Amino acid sequence: MPKKIIATASLAGCFGCHMSFLDIDERLLDLIELVEFDKSPFNDLKEFSRACDIGLIEGGCCNDENVHTLINFRQRCRVLVAVGECAIMGGLPSLRNVIPLQECLAEAYLHGPTVAGGATPNVIPHDPDLPKILDRVYPCHEIVKMDYFLPGCPPRADLIWDALVALVTGQELKWPYATFKFD
């Protein structure tokens, strides 16, 4: 049986979902028997080298670079999975959604307690090489169609493992009660 091809990316988030992925520990060795990684921080490939079977996306979209990456993943991955609350609902980065963008930028670059005068004080960065910040943080499903959602902040390693094994082996994804409810 040929190995499935997996790609991963982190958009606007903390990279915690990738860290949770690594927490599957020694099962990574079992996973490597079933999959190959393409574009991913795990192998440091920055561009796709082929079409992928499964794409794992963590983080929401807060700038145009995130949107471009997400659209590229949708085009290149047969199955696309939103991993974690940032990808599913915008997560902590989306807390800025209740404040107008210009007000956020002014606080960060002009009036914040850590702003110190320098050679160019009172300047909000604006350069063509910087990604354009969006009006708000968007969850992934508002940009492209997502096939599956793995909840959690971050999702538990066991949930990531179970989901990957199911996707790779063609089994149905089954979510136990504990996936959504913590007693």
Domain boundaries, the chain: 4-97+135-180
**pLDDT number for residue 175:** 74
pLDDT at 7: 97
Residue ranges for the chain with pLDDT beneath 70: 117-121, 179-183
Q: What is the pLDDT of residue 113?
A: 77
Position 179 scores a pLDDT of 67
Return the pLDDT at 125. Answer: 86
Q: Quick one: fold of 4-97+135-180?
A: Rossmann fold (3.40.50)
Would you list the DSSP string of the chain?
-PPEEEEEEE-BS-SHHHHHHHTTTTHHHHHHHHEEE-SBTTTTB-S--S-EEEEEEESBEEEHHHHHHHHHHHHHEEEEEEESHHHHH-TGGGGGGGS-HHHHHHIIIIISTT----SS-S-----TTSPPEEEEEE-GGGTS--SEEE-SSSPPHHHHHHHHHHHHHTPPP---HHHH---
Residue 107's pLDDT is what?
Answer: 87
